Amino acid sequence: MLVAMLSEPLPALTDLALGLVALLFAIRGVSAGISPAWRRMFWWAAIAALAGAVHHAVVTYSDALTGPSWAVISAMVVVTISYALAATVEDVLGPGRGRIFWALRMASLVAFAVLALFGYYGISTIVACEGVTMASVVALWALAYRRGIPGAGAMVVALAANVLAGITRAFPSSITELVGLDPVSLYHLAQIPPMALLYLAIVERSAYPAVPLGPAIVVDDDAPGTVTR
């Protein structure tokens, strides 16, 4: 049986499922009219998950290849999060504002690269290097929601669900075994509903015109033809 030939069957199959879902959203994103930055996020999420499926299915048979393979996959996850921030900045702050967060991204990417070179490229490293980035994404959408930007509420819900899904990775085996899964497999499956919520939220947000955060523009009735901020 093919499944029996896999090195880590459940992690491989659940990562495959996650990758196929992300791939579906990346492809459908074109006809749904979502921005290129969001589509790239889904593409990289799909690539990372599908690479993870191969890693769990085959690569983990080799002790020599397991570490480097996981380092590459971790780097893909970092790129995925980078596109999430880039898309958020574009949606919330407006086009051309991505430079505001460029220094943050470079510092995070360099920190991850250095740690990976020294053999630290696991989930804890990703969380440590990308925690600020994800916090920035959540904070920007929370601010957008407070400012009443259309579609921001759905984005906040999707991101909150994603955070909750991430918590499952820390569950001990004694808990995850209650549903017949190991922590890694449960984490893979737990990411699918939040990803679907995020896709739907992005589609909803894309239906509204861009309303970037910033000082409101008010027409000065005393001086027709001028505006004040």
**120 or 151, higher pLDDT:** 151
**pLDDT category, 112, cuts 50, 70, 90?**
low
Which pLDDT does position 22 carry in this prediction? Answer: 97
Which pLDDT does position 229 carry in this prediction? Answer: 41
Which pLDDT does position 74 carry in this prediction? Answer: 82
Q: Is the pLDDT of residue 127 over 70?
A: no
Which pLDDT does position 228 carry in this prediction? Answer: 40
Please state the domain count of the chain: 1
Q: Is the pLDDT of residue 217 over 50?
A: no
Which pairs with CB-CB distance under 8 Å and at least 24 residues apart come from 38-46?
38/83, 38/87, 38/202, 40/83, 40/87, 41/80, 41/83, 41/84, 41/87, 42/199, 44/76, 44/79, 44/80, 44/83, 45/19, 45/80, 45/195, 46/19, 46/20, 46/22
Instruction: Write the CATH number for 218.
Output: 1.20.1070
**83 or 108, higher pLDDT:** 83
**111 or 164, higher pLDDT:** 164
Interatomic CA distance for residues 113 and 115, integer angstroms: 6
**pLDDT category, 227, cuts 50, 70, 90?**
very low
**pLDDT category, 75, cuts 50, 70, 90?**
confident
**What's the average model confidence in pLDDT over 54-75?**
89
Q: Is the pLDDT of residue 214 over 60?
A: no
Which pLDDT does position 115 carry in this prediction? Answer: 63
Nearest to 165 by CA among 122, 108, 116, 123: 123
* Beta-bridge partner residues of 128: none
Q: Is the pLDDT of residue 15 over 80?
A: yes
Instruction: Kindly report the length of the chain.
Output: 229
Highest mean pLDDT among 4-8, 125-129, 224-228: 4-8
pTM comes to: 0.81
Which pLDDT does position 161 carry in this prediction? Answer: 94
Range of the domain at 55: 3-228
Percentage of residues in the chain having pLDDT higher than 70: 73
Q: Is the pLDDT of residue 189 over 90?
A: yes
Q: What share of the chain is helix, strand, coil (3-state, %, to 5)?
A: 75, 0, 20
